[in-house]
Amino acid sequence: MKPHFPLLVLALTLCGCVEHDFPSLLPRAGEQLDFREPPAPPPPVAAADPELDSRIAAARTRLSEAAATFATAATRAEQLAAAASGTAAGSDKWLDAQTALADLDAARARQVDVLAELEQLASDRAQALVAPYPALDEAVQAAQQAVDTSTARIAAIQRRLAPAD
């Protein structure tokens, strides 16, 4: 082992003398690029539209009228359902309550019609790539809430009646 020791020391010494051009450990230009999605621009502000405002106001009026009609019909249907509670399906009281529920469903359909009209207006604006109109969005939301409330009230009344065979 001793005769090889000087050769080993010489080899290690020569390795330290060799100059190498190693690449830098700094980030390269390609590594500094940002490939993330740029932030979306803020949505454009909708310009005032008097014609649309008048259509929204008319739809809100019809929705209020439909809600009042529904409330009256719901009170009547609840009274008839309370009278028919516990009676068999097909009895006179049960049939009266079912008729009142049909009238109630027709009153709810008027609310659904207003909702459909408002949603069509919003859809037309979206297809035309026009900015969303906050008053229209609020009207759609109010109509949807009215329809959902009416649907839940009808379901509650129906649960009080015996199921049809």
- Percent of the chain at pLDDT > 90 equals 50
pLDDT tens digits for range 31-49: 888 888 889 888 777 788 8
Q: What is the per-residue pLDDT for 104? A: 94
On whether the pTM is more than 0.75, the answer is no
Pick the CATH number of 50-159 from 1.10.3470, 1.10.132, 1.10.10, 1.10.8: 1.10.132
CA distance 163 to 165: 6
pLDDT of residue 78: 93
What band does 3 get if pLDDT is binned at 50, 70 and 90? Answer: confident
Distance of CA 32 to the CA centre of its chain: 39
Q: How far apart are CA 90 and CA 165, in angstroms?
A: 9
Average pLDDT of the residues in 125-146? 92
Q: What are phi and psi of 162, to 5 degrees?
A: -65, 140
